[in-house]
Amino acid sequence: MVDPENIPIIEVINLTHRFPDGTYGIQDVSICFRSGELVLITGRNGSGKTTLVRHLNGLLSPYSGKVLLKGAPVSANLKAARKTVGMVFQDADSQIVGETVWDDAVFGPENLKMDRQAIDERVRKVLTDVGLEARRHQSPHVLSGGEKRRLAIAGVLAMEPEVIVLDEPFSNLDYPGIRQVLRQLVRLRGQGRTLIVITHDVEKIAAHADRVVVLHKGHVVRDGKPGEVLPGIGQFGVREPCASLLGKEIPSWLS
């Protein structure tokens, strides 16, 4: 799926983020994401994972450094950046704005001022893809945790982003919920989307990742293939998968 000849879709160059209280979220981070990759960003709490990805679509502004999206600075066209880089937040509840599943999924396309008929067609397809079409008239608050997360993904997919960033997509989910979301991510990857997944629990998705990036105290300390990065990752506050500890290949949670 990954084409190494592709130019990076996102380039982060010497990015530093400073919070209003003077502390640094990330410092001098340089990293690039290529089209079609599934990149895992991991690190302990407070390592700067969320801060980093919120720069990718201009939700945060750099203190220094820059983020290029297809070669152009993100800040040059925020609307285009947010359409290209969709973001699924950690707390699905805070992301849901509609009173029904359908209303929530149409929120993004309506903001893009799309034609009503085009919105209806696109949202119907997206809800079918995530398995929520039958629940389109229901309130999002009655959905299970996994379904809410899938609705949050649907809300982003309805804007047809090229890159999807998912912040802790497995948090607070039970085993079936994790598998539902993981299946969805694998399907998206199969469609050629670029996926950037933030998680501190790498075992659940490591088998499907092309690359793992480890952040520690706001710096990138490791960046490479899972087999190269995961051994010894415990020193950065991230639990190393059991299979990796035993020197075996990490199995998929879908198998």
Judged by CB under 8 A, the chain residues 147 through 176 that form the site for another protein are: 155-156, 159
CB 2 within 8 A of CB 36: yes
CB of 207 to another protein, least distance (A): 28
Q: Measured from the CB of residue 142, what is the shortest distance to another protein in angstroms? A: 5
Contact (Cβ atoms closer than 8 angstroms) between residue 178 and residue 203 = no
Chain-centroid distance of CA 228 in Å reads 22
Query: Judged by CB under 8 A, which of 111, 128, 191, 235 binds another protein?
Result: 111
DSSP state of 178: H
What size, in residues, is the chain? 255
CB of 194 to another protein, least distance (A): 16
Sheet holding 24-34, edge to edge: 24-34, 8-18, 64-69, 72-73
- Does 21 engage in binding with another protein (CB under 8 A)? no
Is residue 193 close enough to count as binding another protein by CB under 8 A? no
8 Å CB contact between 142 and 99: no
Please identify which residue in 34, 49, 82, 122 interacts with another protein, judged by CB under 8 A: 82
Alpha helices in 7-59 (DSSP H): 49-53
Q: How far apart are CA 162 and CA 123, in angstroms?
A: 17
Closest by CA position to 9, among listed 192, 228, 216, 184: 192
Residue 117 DSSP SS3:
helix
- 86 forms part of the interface with another protein (CB under 8 A): yes
Joined together, the tokens standing for residue 204 give: 């659940």
Q: Which of 1, 30, 110, 248 binds another protein (CB under 8 A)?
A: 110
| Binding status of residue 45 toward another protein by CB under 8 A | no
Q: Residue 88 or 207: which CB sits closer to another protein?
A: 88
Edge-to-edge strand list for the sheet holding 163-167: 85-88, 163-167, 194-198, 38-42, 211-216, 219-224
Query: Can you name the residues that pair with 66 across neighbouring β-strands?
Result: 13
Stretch that binds another protein, among 131-139, 171-179, 207-215, 245-253 (CB under 8 A): 131-139
Minimum CB distance to another protein smaller for 88 or for 233:
88
Does residue 177 touch another protein according to CB under 8 A? no
Residue nearer to another protein on the CB measure, 99 or 228: 99
The answer to the question of residue 107 lying near another protein (CB under 8 A) is yes
- Pairing of β 85-88 and β 194-198: unpaired
CB of 30 to another protein, least distance (A): 24
According to the binding rule CB under 8 A, does residue 57 interact with another protein? yes
- Give 94 or 255: the residue with its C-beta nearer to another protein: 94
Q: Please say which residue, 89 or 236, places its beta carbon nearer to another protein.
A: 89
**Rule CB under 8 A: which residues touch another protein?**
54, 57, 59, 79, 82-83, 86-87, 89, 91, 94-95, 97-100, 103, 107-116, 119, 137-139, 141-144, 155-156, 159
